[in-house]
Amino acid sequence: KSVEFSSSEVEKNEVEHIETSALKVYPNPFSDWIKFEFESPEDTNVRIDIYDVSGRKVQTIFENSVEGGLSYDVQFIPRDRVSEIYIYKMKLGNEVYSGKLIYKRH
């Protein structure tokens, strides 16, 4: 099942029961798109924001409730085709993840 979110695509896949929430972000550096793959052990709300290095929010790529026990994939595709460093902030329930994304244009 696939759902379209602006320039992001989300896929939901059945998975076995997960004890803790998890996040994978890859490939990094990236040249076309970068994928956020995450899971939650329980139903919760998730938001993923992308910022430039000056702290300006570039885009919210995902803001929705998720079902526990499912795996979600969200892609970020930069609107501007200029090499840049981005910062992501993901709030998954009460947990917050953040990190650097390196976009290298072809």
Per the structure, the count of domains in the chain is 1
Q: pTM of the predicted model, to two decimals?
A: 0.78
Angstrom distance (rounded) from CA 33 to CA 9: 11
DSSP result, the chain? -EEEETTEEEEEEE----SS-EEEEESSSBSS-EEEEEE-SS-EEEEEEEEETTS-EEEEEEEEEE-TTEEEEEEE--SS-S-EEEEEEEEETTEEEEEEEEE---
- CATH code for the domain of 31: 2.60.40.1930
Query: What whole-number distance in Å separates Cα of residue 40 and Cα of residue 37?
Result: 11
Summarize pLDDT for 71-103 with one digit per residue, the tens: 999 999 998 778 899 999 999 999 999 999 999
Domain of residue 33, residue span: 2-103
Task: Tell me the CB-side half-sphere exposure of residue 47, using CA atoms within 13 A.
Answer: 9
C-beta of residue 104 within 8 angstroms of C-beta of residue 33: no
pLDDT at 66 over 60: yes
